[in-house]
Structure 1
Amino acid sequence: MITGSPASRLSHAAPDWRAAWRDAVTDPLELLSMVGLPHLAAALPADDAGFAMRVPRGFVARMTHGDARDPLLLQVLPQLAEAEDVPGFSRDAVGDLAARDAQGLLHKYQGRALLIASGSCAVNCRYCFRRHFPYGEEIAAAGAWRQALAHVAADTSIEELILSGGDPLSLATGKLAELTDGLSALPHVRRLRIHTRLPVVLPERIDDAFTQWLEAVPLQKVVVLHANHANEFDGDVDDACRRLRDAGATLLNQSVLLAGVNDDAETLSALSERLFAAGVLPYYLHQLDRVQGAAHFEVDDARALALVQAMRERLPGYLVPRLVREEQGEPSKTPL
């Protein structure tokens, strides 16, 4: 266990990831200019469709210049379709607010609790199921995590704590250490699971201070990445994954099936192969959470099932992710 106050013991952390965070592209016109597509400006929605665009420059650099259908670009560029009111799509697609048990703490499944650690992300994915979430009222890190820790301490059935958001790695490493210091007094908590997109979109975040903290956490550690296409990986992402593994984390990946991005068997198979080359095991392939503004990304169940069957015919079983959907009130993800 790392000793000393969180603020003092990690003050040497390199600022590079913060600089890259601040330098993100937030203007859709600038993004289109960077990828050689300024003529698409007329197709942009007003005011980012009510959901601000944000994408790190390193992620932009992996996009194919001049390709309006680039799968990375489509994940982050605001679209006019986001303003359409589609029946069956809502602001709280998976019942997060109904599962609230304490400030920033969601308790949906037996043995696991999820902390909304932060409302910030390095990238704002246009299909984000929490794009309408009231982060201003529901941040577990507020007040040194006191409400969340008190709830977890009182419920000894909770064996795994899940950090989500937003992106929990948007927090300073010292802030994360506040939480894990508090967990050290709770023997019933055995695992820490971190859901994050930062090692993929902002690999600079996995710096020395972060890996020192993670390695010292006396729990089983699982890091669930979120990548949807093989092109999201480069050498820097590979290095971030290696550093996470060296710090003792098991690496899994969750993808979302997205029309126009990864809805063909060759693309999904290439993603699984690329994940495994980086030391990451494919875990879930999610059917789209039906959040307002994301209907244009939806793939129907019959096609989704056919794609997974095609993957089974191409890949060893351990590289085929489980196709699931999250449904409000169910005791687990629903396999399809």
Structure 2
Amino acid sequence: MILAAPLPMQPRGWQQAWRDSVRDPRELLALLGLEAEAGAVPEAALAAFALRVPRAFIGRMRHGDRHDPLLRQVLPLDDELRTVPGFGLDAVGDGAARVARGVIHKYEGRALLVATGSCAINCRYCFRRHFPYAEETAASGGWAAAVDAIAADPSVSEVILSGGDPLALATHKLAEVTDRLRAVPHVRRLRIHTRLPVVLPERVDDALLAWLSALPWPVAVVVHANHGNEFDANVDAAMAALRGAGATLLNQAVLLAGVNDSVDALATLCERGFDAGVLPYYLHQLDRVAGTAHFEVDDARARALHAALVARLPGYLVPRLVREVAGDASKRAL
């Protein structure tokens, strides 16, 4: 396998690595030796949902391979412009589950805070690519409305930081919400859903680790990798550091056509993640958001792939195959 030019982690701040991300598809394709493909990138898809990819993530892509599974996750395609019945703007019912600004309460005992709309990488299959972040960000107003809503509901024992990506926020901003949550006696657990330790491992710095280590609750960090090639030595080091700070690490993936829709790819993802100390958690069927239909794998094939995974791997390495259905009391097992 020939990768793009090595892009090793440098001793610099994660904010600078973020600023250095590639935003022009022509530059992205040139870095991969695919300049001839630049004319096929649709401007309308790019205008609807911008491209953003950290250079370290590009460094894990295969040079010269138009069908590289990491590239497919980020490159705008004409397929995004198709109108497909059944694919809408809010596929998982976030709007109906809103209980306060930036607070989504779908499942018993758990409340999700939309901490920010920012991400270090724009994944083309993103289920919140149409989410109204400007009006629905929990960090607005110093988190007061979000934490007040949680404090008023004693059934909530677990708070989930999501987004966007919560680790896109500066660590002192994260500390603001956890400092407020310390005063809520019924909160027993904190969960953080983030892609940054995978796509921008520089984010796992000393300040973040000190914050995690000082939290008063058990913490689960749910990372998001869809392919084994997303792991490298720098990601491994970030995962080890998170574990050292006391976090339990889980991975959730999305089943994506052309990315990981084979038994070999899924098995490698589960095993490679576990090598890095991350336990497989969920394998999601695609959320049917407008612009993502070309990633969909039908349910019959999804079940067949999962059954083959069960036959191949020990049970603790097999994620649950699920779909999120608006209005359901939990993720729906398939």
Q: What is aligned with 2:158?
A: 160
Task: Determine whether 1:273 maps to 2:271.
Answer: yes
- Pair 1:17 & 2:51 matched: no
Q: In structure 1, what is the Cα distance between the partners aligned to 2:224 and 2:119?
A: 12
Map 1:93-112 to 2 at 5 A: 93-112=91-110
Output the CA distance in 2 between the equivalents of 1:39 and 1:329.
46
Quote the Cα distance in structure 1 between the aligned partners of 2:320 and 2:192.
19
Unmatched 5+ residue regions in structure 1? 1-13
The 3-state SS of whatever aligns with 2:88 is coil
Please report the RMSD computed on the Cα atoms of aligned residues, expressed in angstroms. 0.8
How far does residue 318 in structure 1 lie from its aligned partner after superposition?
Answer: 0.5
Q: Which amino acid aligns with 1:164?
A: S
TM-score, normalised with respect to structure 2: 0.96
Distance across 2 between alignment mates of 1:310 and 1:27: 39
Structure 2 residue 198 is matched with structure 1 residue 200: yes
1:43 equivalent to 2:32? Answer no
Residues 1:134 and 2:160 are matched in the alignment: no
Q: Secondary structure at the match of 2:114?
A: strand
Q: Is the 8 A contact 1:118 1:135 kept in 2?
A: yes
Residue 330 of structure 1 pairs with residue 328 of structure 2:
yes
Q: Secondary structure at the match of 1:120?
A: coil
**Equivalent position of 2:283 in the other structure:** 285
Tell me the CA shift for residue 139 of structure 1: 0.6
- Pick one of 28, 33, 36 that aligns with 1:31: 28
Shift of 1:15: 6.0
Opposite residue 191 of structure 1, the aligned amino acid is: R
1:43 shift after superposition: 1.5
Aligned 1:282-321 pairs, distance under 5 A: 282-321=280-319
Q: Within the alignment, does 1:83 sit opposite 2:86 as a pair?
A: no
Change (3 A) 1:15 1:155: farther
TM alignment of 1:120-131, pairs within 5 A: 120-131=118-129
Which residue number corresponds to residue 3 of structure 2?
Answer: none
Indicate the percent of aligned positions where both proteins have the same amino acid.
67
Gaps of 5+ in 2: 1-10
Cα deviation per residue 1:271-303 (whole Å; 9 max; x = unaligned)? 000010000000000000000000000000000
Deviation at 1:157, TM superposition (A): 0.4
Q: Aligned partners of 2:43, 2:277: CA distance in 1, in Å?
A: 41
Cα drift, residue 335 of structure 1? 0.1
Structure 1 position 201, deviation (Å) = 0.1
By how many angstroms is 1:38 displaced? 1.0
Amino acid at match of 2:122: N
TM-score of the pair, normalised by structure 1: 0.95
Candidates 220, 223, 236, aligned match of 1:222:
220
User: 2:112 pairs with 73, 89, 114, which one?
Assistant: 114
Aligned residues: 323
Q: 1:223 is paired with a residue of what secondary structure?
A: strand
Q: How far did residue 42 of structure 1 move?
A: 2.1
- Secondary structure of residue in 1 paired with 2:73: helix
Deviation per CA, 1:206-263, whole angstroms, max 9, x where unpaired? 0000000000000110000000000000000000000100011000000000000000
C-alpha distance in structure 2 between counterparts of 1:97 and 1:334, whole Å: 19
Amino acid at match of 2:115: A
- The answer to whether the 8 Å contact 1:203/1:237 transfers is yes
In structure 2, the residue matched to 1:210 is 208
* CA distance in 2 between partners of 1:85 and 1:38 (Å): 29
- Within-5 A mapping of 1:46-57: 46-47=43-44, 48=46, 50-57=48-55
* Cα distance between partner residues in 1 of 2:315 and 2:290: 34
Secondary structure of the structure 2 residue equivalent to 1:137: coil
Matched to 2:317, the amino acid is: L
What is the CA-CA distance between 1:49 and the residue it aligns to?
5.1
1:39 and 1:93 mapped to 2: Cα distance?
35
User: Which 4+ runs in 1 deviate beyond 2 A?
Assistant: none
Is contact 1:49–1:79 with CA below 8 Å preserved after alignment? no
Q: Is the 8 A contact 1:16 1:204 kept in 2?
A: yes
Supply the distance in 1 between the matched residues of 2:170 and 2:137 (Cα, whole angstroms). 14
Letter in 1 for 2:31: M
Give the aligned residue type for 2:207: A
